[in-house]
Amino acid sequence: MNPPARFITFEGIDGAGKSTHIDAVASQLRSAGAQVLCTREPGGTELAEKLRELILHAPMDALTEALLVFAARRDHLQQVIAPALARGETVLCDRFTDATFAYQGGGRGFDVAVLAQLEQWVHGELQPDLTIWFDLPAETAAARREAARTPDRFEREDAGFFERVRSGYQARAQAAPHRIVRIDAALPRDAVWRQIAGALESRQW
């Protein structure tokens, strides 16, 4: 008997290291018999990837940013996430709506009530079964980003922005402690993986 479909998301400020662990989670779940689809936000479809480029590189205000993020998410849900879950697959997604509340709500200071309304319109009651949040101080994340790649429009923001993003994630985690598991991403990679593995094992996944 195949494991049930699950929706698992990975969150954290840029530079927290979450992306490096998604493949490891996918491998572990596949070894347990799950069919696994890995995807990302913004992105995951041809349309959403085009919107991603605009979001990451074109100047815009916070409302425009939020609308484009949710537009990309709607297409992603309809074209990729919902069909995969309906087929019984486990979906691993690099970012989802928690990121919008953290970046646009926390970082940009945009009205979270408006974001909550957009969330309801775009995906209603659908929420991840598990969210793995890689928590890291903004200064540590900045040092990692500087060594890794050319920054996009978000990654060029100052430490204050990323501390507000971090606070946005903290607020989401406090509101949904059953779903969001905090990972101390400042620890060495092996220790981070042990925390992730523990989160999966606690759910007997």
Question: pTM of the predicted model, to two decimals?
Answer: 0.93
Bridge partners for 42 per DSSP: none
pLDDT bracket for residue 147 (50, 70, 90)? low
Amino acid at 159: A
Amino acid at 104: Q
Rounded to 5 degrees, φ, ψ at 92 are -105, 120
DSSP 15: T
Residue 112: its pLDDT value, please?
97
pLDDT bracket for residue 204 (50, 70, 90)? confident
| Structure tokens belonging to residue 14 | 């840029």
CB atoms within 10 A of CB 145: 20
Residue 168: its pLDDT value, please?
97
> Which domains, and CATH codes, for the chain?
7-202 (3.40.50.300)
Residue in this structure with the two tokens 């995807």, named with its chain if needed:
39
- The rounded distance, in Å, linking the Cα atoms of 150 and 74 is 28
Which stretches within the chain are classed as H helix? 19-31, 46-57, 62-76, 82-86, 97-100, 112-123, 138-148, 159-175, 189-202
The share of the chain scoring above pLDDT 90, in percent, equals 80
- The rounded distance, in Å, linking the Cα atoms of 102 and 109 is 9
- The rounded distance, in Å, linking the Cα atoms of 190 and 74 is 35
Q: What is the mean pLDDT of residues 145-149?
A: 61
| Structure tokens belonging to residue 41 | 């936000």
Classify 146 as helix, strand or coil: helix
Residue length of the chain = 205
